Amino acid sequence: MDNTAAAQRDADYRRGTVLGLTVAEVFILLLFLLLLALLVLVRDWEAEREREALERKQLNDQLVVLQEQQDKWQGVMQEFETPEEIATLRQQKEAAQRNVEVLQEVLGASDEAMQRAGERAEALLEAEQQRDAAQQDLAETQRQLDLLRTKGENPPCWYQIVPDDKRGTREKPLYALNVAVFDRHMILHRPEPPAGSATDDGGATYADEARRLPFNPIPYGRPLSDTQIILHLQPISTAGREEQVRSYACVFWLRVWDKTSPDAKERWKQAHDNILEGMFGAYTVRDDAWPGN
């Protein structure tokens, strides 16, 4: 009986011990779970606090920037605090605008001057080109006349048929122009066209042919440079050489006066031999007075 009771007490003790341990473990697990939940809450609270701190810092930074801008604008406004200062600045602006307008007018005038200078340069270049072309034509004329002289053929465009020494006839040249050669220029004088006509070639009078040729535009009685002489006389010479006067190539003739100084005979030779005889037949007058002014 006693053994049975003791055995029962031992069994109850063991069941109580096991039950006690189990309840303790349950409480430990519950406490662990509570701690985990608390840690999660604490972490969320820390994150929220950090976010709020960051937002507060950003707002403070923006507030600082706005405050600096406000201070800056207040400083700017203080510079224009009085109406007198504003009026002075307006006057300075108007004066600067007037200076700009004056400068634009000056630049416009400069552009016009540069344009006129460019036009003068183009005209000069064109004149030089005409001179070069005239010199080339003169060289070609000289070459052709040299060839004619070599062959003994140099028929005058205007002429008079007269007897020769061999009881035949010859064509005596009639002169189209008078030329005076000076040290630095030449002067042209136009006599009346010769009477008559080349009855053996065409029948038109010399006066009619003179009207068709460019004699009238020539500036007579005025000093002309060598280049101007070439430009004015070349068309007349070309008309004869290119069979526009006679049915054959012919040469107009000039009477030439030497008005150069004694120490300028090289100039005379250059003007007479190279320029005038390069385009025309030239007769040097020694006894008759110069008919021009």
Could you tell me the mean pLDDT of each successive run of 10 residues in the chain, 293 residues long?
66 60 74 86 86 82 75 60 67 75 70 71 76 70 50 76 82 94 95 86 85 94 94 94 90 95 91 92 93 79
Which pair of structure tokens corresponds to residue 122? 């183009």
The per-residue pLDDT for 209 is: 92
In whole angstroms, what is the distance from residue 232 CA to residue 221 CA? 14
**DSSP per-residue string spanning 53-90:** HHHHHHHHHHHHHHHHHHHHHHHHHHHT-SHHHHHHHH
> What is the pLDDT, as a whole number, of residue 116?
75
The predicted pLDDT at position 165 comes to 78
pTM to 2 decimals?
0.49
Radius of gyration of the chain (CA): 60
User: Based on the number of CB atoms within 10 Å of its own CB, is 250 exposed (0-12), middle (13-18) or buried (19 or more)?
Assistant: buried
Q: Which two tokens stand for residue 81?
A: 């605090």
pLDDT of residue 94: 79
Note the pLDDT tens digit of each residue in 13-23. 666 555 555 66
CB 189 within 8 A of CB 178: yes
* pLDDT 10s digits, 55-100: 888 877 877 777 777 676 666 555 555 666 667 777 777 777 777 6
- The 10s digit of each residue's pLDDT in 60-69 is 787 777 777 7
**pLDDT number for residue 11:** 67
